[in-house]
Structure 1
Amino acid sequence: MNGAWSRILEKYGQKVTIFREGAQDGTACRAFLQPALERRGEGFQTLPTPLGLVRQDQWIYLGGPEVSLDGLGDGYVAWGEKKFSLRAAQPVYLGEELAYWWGLLVIRDADA
């Protein structure tokens, strides 16, 4: 299964870089990144705060087993000009074999 998943990622996945907390250099890999839309189908998700609405866009990450999202800490995922913080991550197994990493990302503040 991993061979097929790797070929799909190589052909259709986006080029991303995983930066671990405190690391200067990141690890380049391929993953699928897609916005996680609200049930209403709105493209931008907002959260009301005392200072007004704040964007809380969430993105789904599906990446190969070779680059772990575990222990990312305050690191981030970079894709083009965008940086994402990791909200949640889960390894997905097929039987005993790690098939891919699932992650829930949020757009990182520009000053973070």
Structure 2
Amino acid sequence: MLLAANANAGVIISFDEPTLAVGSGQTASFSGVLTNNGLDPVYLNGNNFTFSVKGDNYTFKHLFFANVPVSLSGGESTGSIALFDVRLSTFLSQSPDMYSGTWSLLGRA
């Protein structure tokens, strides 16, 4: 299982499925809605990902620049968009396990 968490002042990240079951050699695709809960525009410049699996035991596919808008006006939401994919190495345990990660937005008002 993969668990994604979120944090960013002014923008709420609501994952469609924050916990996904995935095994060795499989890919978990995370999507969700980004909402600016403030009044002022927020500019979305990038993302950061940390994961409990170390080394070459996973690959992370950034979908940020393909799907996330440059900015969100006050109160604006994106609708559901693809955010990132995580593929586990075939070298990990064959049975599904619990892995955790954090995905956050980088930006400014």
**Greater helix fraction, Structure 1 or Structure 2:** 1
> TM-score, normalised to structure 2's length?
0.36
